[in-house]
Amino acid sequence: MVEIHHQVGVKASARDVYNALTTLDGLSGWWTRATGGTDVGEQLRFHFGEYGVTMRVEQAQPFDKVVWHCDIEHGEWKDTGVCFDIVETEDQVLINFSHIRWHACTEMYAHCSTKWAVFMLSLKDYLETGKGRPFPNDIQVNHDDT
């Protein structure tokens, strides 16, 4: 199994980070505008054009950690997990991101690793300026990017 890892440091409170990861307004401000489900609920739905993914919230520990399980029935994201660890330091809040339980290092894995980096920077911008770059306004990493 392989994993994707990224870290960004933000000038924001752990509360603001947690809210950006657990509320529909927060998630649609940095990942995709087409976000649905329930705030800190059982399932979240995200759409990227015609592609959609449902995440089951496994853990939402205020100001500390958020964990999702990907509930799609097929594809490379099946049974993967997404983790956000929130670490407060003296000067910033670190967001340690992991997308775990990938079965192989494929072209899709490489694409998703780069896209997660794009979205982590979008999250940073959202938290520090109030304006992220969620899909469909995110940075495109290739010419057929969705």
Write out pLDDT tens, residues 14-56: 999 999 999 999 999 999 999 998 755 578 999 999 889 999 9
pLDDT of residue 144: 77
pTM of the model: 0.94
Residues 25 and 10: their CA atoms lie apart, in Å, by 19
The position carrying tokens 């304006």 is 131
CB 47 within 8 A of CB 34: yes
Write out pLDDT tens, residues 63-109: 999 999 998 888 999 999 999 999 999 999 999 999 999 999 999 99
Q: Where are the alpha helices (DSSP H) in the chain?
A: 14-22, 24-30, 107-129
Name all domains of the chain by residue range, CATH numbers in brackets: 2-129 (3.30.530.20)
Indicate whether 146 pLDDT > 70.
no
- The side-by-side arrangement of strands in the sheet containing 93-102 is 2-10, 93-102, 81-88, 65-70, 51-61, 43-48, 34-37
